[in-house]
Structure 1
Amino acid sequence: MRLYLDGSGSMRGFVGNTGPSPYREVAHAMIGSLRRSASEFEVFRFAAGIERRNYSDRLAADILDVSFYSSKPAPGANTKQVPPGETHLHDVLKQAAAQPGVTTAVVTDLFLSAAEVHGGENSPLRQALADILHKGLSIALIGIQAPFSGRVYDLATTRESIKFTNGQRPFYILLIGSDAQVRTLYATLQTEVLGTPVMGPHHSTVFSPRALPASGWVPRLELNTGTREAALLAKSAASEAPFQIAVGRRGGGASIALERQDGDSAWFAGQAVVPDVGRATLKSIIHFYTTGRHGCENGWIEDDERPGLVELGQVQPDRLSFNVLREPAATFGFRPNVTYVLDTTVTFTSLHAAPEARQWIKDWSYNGTQEAALLKRVAQREEQREKQQQAQRPSAKAEASGSETILFPTLNLESLGDLMVQITKEQHSSERIHAFRLVYNME
């Protein structure tokens, strides 16, 4: 397990405020939580370079001090002095990609330039993200809103930093590793870190090359009017059949849903890409047994050859639903007093973006064309605060603290999310799910 802490000057404002602080809570609690959950644990500070920090009680105190977030490297560290706000996140991502067996957590403000996000196929950031996602690893992006008093760097329209006092800024936790490892780590952080009372608004989105879990589905059957549960008519069809029903000649049918357990639902609901139902393919094989001279027979029946036999309904990473025999059973040529076994698989050949899972990313993002209005609003607020403080009235402090609270969003965050969606879809391979086995007969 590796933890990377962004030590650039742009993070200093998260520890510069007084009062309860989600950032201080996360920075302090994560070290203990991750150390308890991993057999091996390493901590690194990064800005333009990466330096290893020995784990100790002193480190836990250091990361809560403004001196940790400095342009100056630690004594003896093999990194150069850099501009206060500069962060080379791609170097951290390259290390995560180089060790796919190691779970990585990164705490950062994710301020990225347009050149980094839109740098084309050969940009260091894109290459690092592609190395991670193309290896089948997952990236969970957790955003947390926190009080901030300091300077904001890495702006799109000016090289100067700006003062931003008693406002709100998001910071982020990136979890990188195998889907199972990241999911487990996320659950641990939800319990031990993100669930604490001091925590502000927070959201999460998952970027994973596998949109559906390979196993662990729980099937559920709903009977339509004209259908009843039935005992099997022949032992030969009994062994692997989870559902047995009897349908009417002129009506009946069923809906079958595959669902994840409650503990996993929130995780899969946060997937940034989901299966494209419009390009899914269904294939069913029907086995049937007769008492005549033909004995046991079987044949392939594809959905496009028998429309309405099996239809794919709702598709979410945590829920798949199917409609079976929505048309009268007699229209398919099924014979009474014959036991049929319908074995169905579904294959998802492509993915599409899930806007609802990424809405918070859009809300917490801005781009260069929106920056002038944002900076003007911040400047007016800072000017108002300074005037109140200079008035030296007894109520000045109260007025200053009562100024409008502004959320300073993250530059190009939406573009980063779009980039990860694009990379995730590039290397997606078809996902085949053995959906269900249904035993039925027509009355």
Structure 2
Amino acid sequence: MDTSDSSGRGPRGSIPLHKLRIPSAIESSNIEGGNAELEIAVAAAGPRRYSYEELAAATHDFAEEEKLGRGGFGSVYRGRLPVVPGGDVDGGGGQQVAIKFLSESSSQGRKEFEAEERIITRLRHRNLVQLLGWCDCPRGLMLVYELVPGGSLEKHIYDNQRLLTWSERYKIIIGLGSALRYLHQEWEQCVLHGDIKPSNIMVDSSYNTKLGDFGLARLVNHGERWKTTTAVQGTAGYIDPEFINTQRPSTESDVYSFSIVLLEIVCAKPPVVLHEDEPSFVLLRWVWSLYSQNAILNAVDERLRGVFRDERQMERVLVVRLWCAHPDLSERPSIARAMNVLQSYDARLPDLLPQMYKSKVSPPPREVAMGGEYDSVSTAITISGSNVPTSATTTATRSSGSFVG
């Protein structure tokens, strides 16, 4: 749900990573039925169908000043709708909502619309963004969500005006883990999210986590594996290299993405920063290098130095996160097991090899180490059919905003 529409700077011919999506996602064969069946299912689940006129009125005809951001397949607008049962009333006498406007001309936008709507309408959890309704009309496709006033996690991680305390970070971590545990193990089917990243995670005013954007999600029965997909889609820097190599989405791939987000929360550094004239900074390798030196606490956001720090808890979080990103997919824990170790001091921490990566580890650049602005760019990669690399290096960048896929 990336809302940045700015263009990052970088080497000639490069593309800002928040604009980069690895092409193709959910095969149309996984979308069953037509609009009539879809509307019946949505109505039964609770969210309602809105008319274009209702949503246009809610956003002052989709005024530019109401735009929250722009993503790969459309824009997101702030709107105010008449109060619905259970809705949050604002000072203006209505319910604040976020309206995701997808382009009807984009076939991928249509697939994401139907996939997200089919899945999220059936999910109910305090740590998931609530879908309130939808609109399918000749002018476009729209999804209506609760507006989470705190904005995206990404904004909070890199906010130099207001530093996230450790207790707030830990609360966000537990909320995200709870959402993923529900998706993987507690609902009637296993939901593979497929795009866990800070810009898809909302944080309310009390630092409760709300995971959203199910446009790349897949449903599988518990105990089953998803078949090999014809192509790979996700966000560079957060996508599991094993998913790229095997083209088989899995709970382990979600756990990998979860681990990268957790490292970013604790360290306040992006997954990867590319340099023209020196080695790139890779957050995961850097933290693993510190772990091998028995200095893993040096990875914690240095802005937290001098303030209250539960170092035992910090160390546990960092070690569990490395475990979740283990290079050997079979060694990664389930999200339930990871959460158990994360939340219980009685649970034994895993024994990890001190050096998982043999390549040279570069220190973070000064501007990133200080939690300041940075640019991170990369060239686009396309992975489809048999065109799969034997190894993959993924990268990511920071982008501001709150609610766009």
TM-score, shorter chain, exceeding 0.5: no
- TM-score normalized by structure 2? 0.29
Higher relative contact order (CA 8 A, sep 6+): 2
Bigger radius of gyration = 1
What is the TM-score of this pair, normalised by structure 1? 0.27
Larger strand proportion, structure 1 or 2? 1
